[in-house]
Amino acid sequence: MNTEAVAHFTARLTFETDPSDVRAAQVAGTPLVLVDSRSAESWAQGHVAGALHLPTREIAARARDLVPADADVVTYCWGPGCNGGTRAALEFARLGYRVREMIGGFEYWAREGLPLVGAERAADPLTTVVGAGCAC
């Protein structure tokens, strides 16, 4: 067994999730607070259904008023070319929250055809089988 690799991938799965897993948790009624850390302008163009808008620069000042201390928090930003979700997760971790980052961010949520507010976008057939997960 490659213990270094096991530790690495275990840590990634502990601190990262993906759009299909977040959606499955929502559908199952698993309590989590999904935080969109993008700007007000980006939020207004469309966001993940059920998300809370809390830009990264406001997390330290506002999180305790908006997010229960015992919440499971999942952060996201624009997409894989952006580290905003990582920065937001770091801010929540500094405040003592259990937090994971949704890899792929808003971009992959939309590309997978998952529920959006304020935007309409068809699922991208290159990222998902419409109506089914990747079964990974």
**DSSP track, 24-88:** HHHHHT---EEEE-S-HHHHHH-EETTPEE--HHHHHHHHHHHS-TT-EEEEE-S-TT--HHHHH
Are the C-beta atoms of 16 and 103 separated by less than 8 Å? yes
Q: What amino acid is encoded at 51 in this protein?
A: A
DSSP H or E stretch at residue 20: helix 19-28
Tens of pLDDT along the chain (136 residues) come to 999 999 999 999 999 999 999 999 999 999 999 999 999 999 999 999 999 999 999 999 999 999 999 999 999 999 999 999 999 999 999 999 999 999 999 999 999 899 999 977 666 766 655 555 555 6
The predicted model scores a pTM of: 0.90
Domains of the chain and CATH, by start:
14-117 (3.40.250.10)
